[in-house]
Chains A and B, each alone.
Chain A
Amino acid sequence: MRPITYLRATDTATAVAAVSTDPTSDFLAGGTTEVDLLRQNVLNPRRLVDINDLPLTGIEGTPDGGLRIGALARMSDVAAAPVVRERFPLIAQALELGASAQLRNMASMGGNLLQRVRCSYFRDAESACNKREPGTGCSAIEGFSRGHAVLGTSEHCIATHPSDVAVALTALDTRVHTLGPNGERAYPVDDFFLLPGDSPHREHPLEHGELITGIEVPAMPLARHSLYLKVRDRESYEFALVSVALALSVMNGTIADVRMALGGVATKPWRARRAEDFLIGAATVRDNFALAARVEMADARPTPMNAFKVELAQRAIVRALDTLGDGTGPGAGSGSSP
């Protein structure tokens, strides 16, 4: 880890000014990505601006049924909040199926959205990686790619977006609020995560020094009937191979409304709009679920090593729809015990 200087910010505007005026400064929140990647020599800031004292930790339900989450609210606190569990079970489930209890106590919601990929070629600080060092090439495409993305990839990067909760938030038309040197902004979540294209080092539209201040989840009554299904090799403490965030409203055997997003298979939290479009108005039968899944995955571009994810994702989508579609209530993610 390179030598760094440290300062602790006491108000948001000062923190933003401190980072935005210095290209070598980074914000430090929970540290679970920043400290890890500093030590790995993947990140190289000269100065850390500690924002943990900023008053951005609120978790509150809005009167219309939505949710406002401060950027510095910790994953564990958000997952435990009754209003989150009641209105948005998929958010609570996605949070609690991520990382470990200790990491969830540390990691902030804002930091979670900005966490970096687990691609080993990105993390090793040695291999060619367009995300870490633009223009050097992508080692994963011809390399070991079992965990890599099959959707939203480019010839420059196939790294999977690692967040679980971002997948749930993407299904819910969330807005990400920021404060930057040019004032406050709000981004629809789908615009917040960028596809790698030919600039995989740009993962989001934030300017340097622009700080996530909060996450706004709009009211969505159907989200009360929702789940987050996570499929992985190990039963806990592992990133997803495939995950499905799903909220579903069924009336008389027909899907009235649906929100779906996928994790573990795409370079960004993947809103499954094609599947949603297919499903609205469709009968809750397995054939329709399978067709919706196939439609969503039609453009998948796997490597030989991760080709199984295309099938696995479809089966996970069907499983999620099956679980919610029969009206028996939300599932418990991959935690459903054998």
Chain B
Amino acid sequence: MTTTTPSAIGQPLDRVDGRPKVTGHARYSAEIPVPDTAYAYVVGSRIAAGRVTDIDVSAARAEEGVLAVLTHRNLPRIAEQPPLIPSLAGTAAPGQTFFPMQDDTVHYAGQQIAVVIADTWERAQHAARLVRVSYAESTPVTTLDQGRDDTYVPEKIFGGWIPGRIERGDVAAGLAEADVLVDGTFTYAANNHNPIEPACTTAQWEGDELLLYDTTQGVNATQMTVSRLLGLPMSKIRVMGHYVGGSFGCKAMIHAHSALAAMAAREVGRPVKLVLTREQMFTSVGHREEQEQHLTMGATRDGRLTAIRHHKLSPTSHFDDWAEPSIGVSSEIYACPNYEGVYRLFRANTMTPTFMRAPGEASGMYALECSMDELAHELGMDPVELRLRNYTDVDAMSGRPWSSSGQRECYERGARRFGWAGRDPRPGTRREGNWLIGTGMAAACYPVAPPANPQRARARLYADGTAVVQAATPDFGTGVATVMTQVAAEGLGVSVDRCRFENGDTDLPNIAAAVGSAGAGMISAAVHAAATGLREQLIKRAVTDPRSPLHGADTVDVVVRDGVMIAGTATDAYTELLQRNFQPDAEASGQWSPPSGDVPYGMMTFGAQFAEVAVDAELGLVRVRRMTGAFAPGRVLNARTARSQLTGGMLWGLGQALLEANYMNPDTGRWVNSNLGEYLVAVNADAPDVDVELIEVEDSIVNPLGVKGVGEIGQVGAAAAIANAVHHATGRRVRKLPITIEDLL
């Protein structure tokens, strides 16, 4: 496909990695051929609380092919435990501040207590079973009901980024003056990311240098975390990860297996591949915590919010104060003078929960947007109208104007595409055979979070006119390799088919982990800087080259199309310029430093969700018939990949609404359904066709290209729209996720 340069950005270009992915030639991190690789298999704790009193590894060690068995008795101590800081900060980013197998303590079921290394996977897997562990078990605390009487309000949550309590105005007074009150307790099952590619790390030592093939959202995050844990200089660690088979947050932080693979490889003196099993994916890479939210809102008869009180209760680990920030957005997106948000935590026998797609927003907006629907119903007001009535052009918490919004257009165009107008608001009035039909809507929003550090990229143009642009980031399905090819091509002024984006390697310029929907914005900023920097360098060279037809031209008058610099009628091609000067290539680095300190804007991506469900009220079945989402993600770099991500996010909302749950056995502290047969994610039959409307808004604040990101907002509000549609269909207000058959009988 050849695209003329000025419009490379935004084009629905085919994915540049499409061919390797559809042919099976794309190599994911467990698939790099490394000679003499041994296989590591993790043994997890059977108990959730207590101590390992004995580990007998003799039977495992005696198995043919077993090279080593590591336990807390012989695993080297880590050099240092770095603090838990979200990987967007661009520093070391462990998933929790506890590293396993340093002593005999067991904090949670599934915690790594041994690693068996053997010459084949089958042998390692079998020998792991032969490791005999004795425990001293104490009573675990894992569930809300076990923990709710012993809670605390943390000073900060989420790796120290979010305060445990936020307030404005006087909520009690606001509720007292309300004409209508809505009050509800919402409960949420724990959720697991379950990318189809399990987490894995292949570790290879050469002398004191370490090479890791890692499944990660940030190779630099892996590098920095392992460096700190092992006490190894950064210069001695290289991390690669070109293809990542999905993450959704579970590869956003660096969990223990990456360092354990390196330690295992050092122990056996061979490369080691460590792949988590599907079951281990439920206990080794974080999860979205089980939680309960209590939301009270008051409004005047004409639908103006007077107060919102939003409290959350959830378990955290014994070592970190973690809660996904479910409360943030409810404080920001509606004009409401009085607000109170409080996180309450209790210590539980769990690993530290972690980011999971729309961490906080997906759960918080369920409570907020179901409450708004209930309020609309109480007021006899259209749900879209209620939201418009409480629209705010400023972040209601900070009072700062939005850097860009588009929220009204999302409501309007989403409603139009969905066919919302003329909806009969009365519940339970539409029936088709055994099915009751209902429609619902919800607002969507997701904060724009800039990285903390400079983001870098490098652009190189060869004398034949082809270009390579580099940045460290992996592509875990977002399409970043594709869109950065477009950004680079446009910046350089070459066609996209002459441009290759190289990524997924710490030897390339540093990029923070692509998390929080920040990837497209921050990486495009760096790539754009590198590509335009190189273009300017070449133009400058041409206008100062006496042999160039552009000699003497003013650089500002020069444009570049398809690799040809043009000033008026004079032209000079990049290729001719370089060849004429015996220059094999030209290269430039680019850097984007995000604004430091306070930005005087609220930065948020907005959207609106609409869903139609059919409910078989007799059998309790809910089927989503169609979904429409309208989103305003700033500038869209590639409409096709953006739509795909938004579609996926909306269907994640469907899963969150109706399917996804892991359940805890309170007596043992072990998860019950840690497999894909019982932890239900949507299959093809569950997924309706999804209509995505993109509303581009200009934003000159968030980053140079005005990109606000599409990775997560697709999920936000989708579960609420479905739950509101279920209410419309049946008259039943279910404040629990997932909504399952027994809730509707």
Q: Do chains A and B touch in the complex (CB under 8 A)?
A: yes
**A positions within 8 Å CB-CB of B:** 1-3, 39, 41, 118, 120, 123-124, 126-127, 139, 142-144, 146-147, 231, 233-239, 241, 308, 311-312, 315-316, 318-319, 334, 336-338
Query: Does B435 sit at the interface, judged by CB under 8 A?
Result: yes
Residue of chain A at shortest CB distance from B624: A338
A233-B614 contact, Cβ under 8 Å, with A144-B665, A311-B745: no
Contact of A338 among B625, B665, B740 (CB under 8 A): B625
Contact of A334 among B618, B621, B738 (CB under 8 A): B621
Could you mark each residue 477-491 of chain B with 1 if its beta carbon is under 8 Å from any beta carbon of chain A, else 0? Answer: 000000000000000
Q: Is the CB of A319 within 8 A of B126?
A: no
A selection of 5 A-B contacts at a CB cut-off of 8 Å is A124-B670, A139-B668, A233-B680, A234-B682, A236-B685
- Beta-carbon contacts under 8 Å, B266-306 to A: none
Residue of chain B at shortest CB distance from A315: B618
Which B residues are CB-close (under 8 A) to A233? 658-659, 680, 738, 740-741
Q: Other CB < 8 Å A-B pairs besides A126-B46, A234-B683, 20 of them?
A: A1-B126, A2-B129, A118-B678, A120-B673, A143-B667, A143-B672, A144-B663, A146-B663, A231-B741, A234-B686, A235-B623, A235-B686, A236-B686, A308-B620, A308-B741, A316-B619, A319-B434, A319-B618, A336-B434, A338-B435
Q: Is the CB of A120 within 8 A of B672?
A: yes
Which A residues are CB-close (under 8 A) to B11? none
Cα A338 to Cα B438 in complex, Å, equals 12
Cα A75 to Cα B57 in complex, Å, equals 43
Residue of chain A at shortest CB distance from B743: A308
Q: Is the CB of B125 within 8 A of A1?
A: yes
Residue of chain A at shortest CB distance from B618: A315
Which A residues are CB-close (under 8 A) to B126? 1-3
- Beta-carbon contacts under 8 Å, B43-100 to A: 46
Residue of chain A at shortest CB distance from B680: A234
Task: Identify the 3 closest CB pairs spanning chains A and B, nearest first.
Answer: A338-B614, A308-B742, A236-B685
Which B residues are CB-close (under 8 A) to A143? 665, 667-668, 672
Query: Does B33 sit at the interface, judged by CB under 8 A?
Result: no
Query: Does B616 sit at the interface, judged by CB under 8 A?
Result: yes
A312-B620 contact, Cβ under 8 Å, with A118-B677, A234-B680, A235-B685: yes
Q: What is the CB-to-nearest-CB distance from A11 to chain B, in angstroms, rounded to a whole number?
A: 30
Q: Is the CB of A312 within 8 A of B625?
A: no
Which A residues are CB-close (under 8 A) to B675? 123
Which A residues are CB-close (under 8 A) to B668? 127, 139, 143
Could you mark each residue 613-648 of chain B with 1 if its beta carbon is under 8 Å from any beta carbon of chain A, else 0? Answer: 010101111010100000000000000000000000
Q: What is the CB-to-nearest-CB distance from A32 to chain B, in angstroms, rounded to a whole number?
A: 12
Which A residues are CB-close (under 8 A) to B684? 236
Q: What is the CB-to-nearest-CB distance from B659 to chain A, in angstroms, rounded to a whole number?
A: 6
**Contacts across chains A and B counted by CB atoms under 8 Å:** 88
Cα A311 to Cα B744 in complex, Å, equals 12
A315-B663 contact, Cβ under 8 Å, with A144-B672, A236-B683, A338-B614: no
Cα A126 to Cα B673 in complex, Å, equals 14
Which B residues are CB-close (under 8 A) to A334? 621
Cα A337 to Cα B741 in complex, Å, equals 17
Which B residues are CB-close (under 8 A) to A126? 46
Q: Is the CB of A338 within 8 A of B672?
A: no
Cα A337 to Cα B658 in complex, Å, equals 17
Q: Residues of B within 8 Å of A, CB-based: how many?
A: 39
- Beta-carbon contacts under 8 Å, B410-443 to A: 432, 434-435
Which B residues are CB-close (under 8 A) to A338? 432, 435, 614, 616, 623, 625
Which B residues are CB-close (under 8 A) to A118? 677-678
Q: Is the CB of B683 within 8 A of A235?
A: yes
Residue of chain A at shortest CB distance from B125: A1
Q: What is the CB-to-nearest-CB distance from B617 to chain A, in angstroms, rounded to a whole number?
A: 10
Cα A202 to Cα B208 in complex, Å, equals 57
Q: Is the CB of B623 within 8 A of A241?
A: no
Q: What is the CB-to-nearest-CB distance from A111 to chain B, in angstroms, rounded to a whole number?
A: 17
Residue of chain A at shortest CB distance from B658: A233
Which B residues are CB-close (under 8 A) to A308? 620, 741-742, 745
Q: Is the CB of B678 within 8 A of A237?
A: no
Cα A236 to Cα B681 in complex, Å, equals 11
Which B residues are CB-close (under 8 A) to A139? 665, 668
Query: Does B122 sit at the interface, judged by CB under 8 A?
Result: yes
Which B residues are CB-close (under 8 A) to A237? 683, 685
Cα A236 to Cα B680 in complex, Å, equals 10
Which B residues are CB-close (under 8 A) to A235? 623, 683, 685-686
Cα A338 to Cα B614 in complex, Å, equals 6
Cα A208 to Cα B673 in complex, Å, equals 31
Residue of chain A at shortest CB distance from B668: A127
Residue of chain B at shortest CB distance from A229: B619
Q: What is the CB-to-nearest-CB distance from A4 to chain B, in angstroms, rounded to a whole number?
A: 10
Which A residues are CB-close (under 8 A) to B618? 315, 318-319
Residue of chain A at shortest CB distance from B678: A120
Cα A233 to Cα B623 in complex, Å, equals 10
Cα A202 to Cα B619 in complex, Å, equals 33
A41-B129 contact, Cβ under 8 Å, with A234-B683, A241-B741: yes
Cα A118 to Cα B668 in complex, Å, equals 19
Residue of chain B at shortest CB distance from A306: B742
Cα A147 to Cα B665 in complex, Å, equals 14
Q: Is the CB of A231 within 8 A of B683?
A: no
Q: What is the CB-to-nearest-CB distance from B685 to chain A, in angstroms, rounded to a whole number?
A: 4
Could you mark each residue 184-205 of chain B with 1 if its beta carbon is under 8 Å from any beta carbon of chain A, else 0? Answer: 0000000000000000000000
Which A residues are CB-close (under 8 A) to B682? 234
Which A residues are CB-close (under 8 A) to B122? 1
Residue of chain B at shortest CB distance from A335: B685
Which B residues are CB-close (under 8 A) to A124? 670
Which A residues are CB-close (under 8 A) to B435? 338
Cα A299 to Cα B741 in complex, Å, equals 22
- Beta-carbon contacts under 8 Å, B655-714 to A: 658-659, 663, 665, 667-668, 670, 672-673, 675, 677-678, 680, 682-686
Which A residues are CB-close (under 8 A) to B625? 338
Which A residues are CB-close (under 8 A) to B680? 233-234, 238
Could you mark each residue 237-266 of chain B with 1 if its beta carbon is under 8 Å from any beta carbon of chain A, else 0? Answer: 000000000000000000000000000000
Cα A146 to Cα B738 in complex, Å, equals 14
Q: Is the CB of B686 within 8 A of A312?
A: no
Q: Is the CB of A142 within 8 A of B619?
A: no
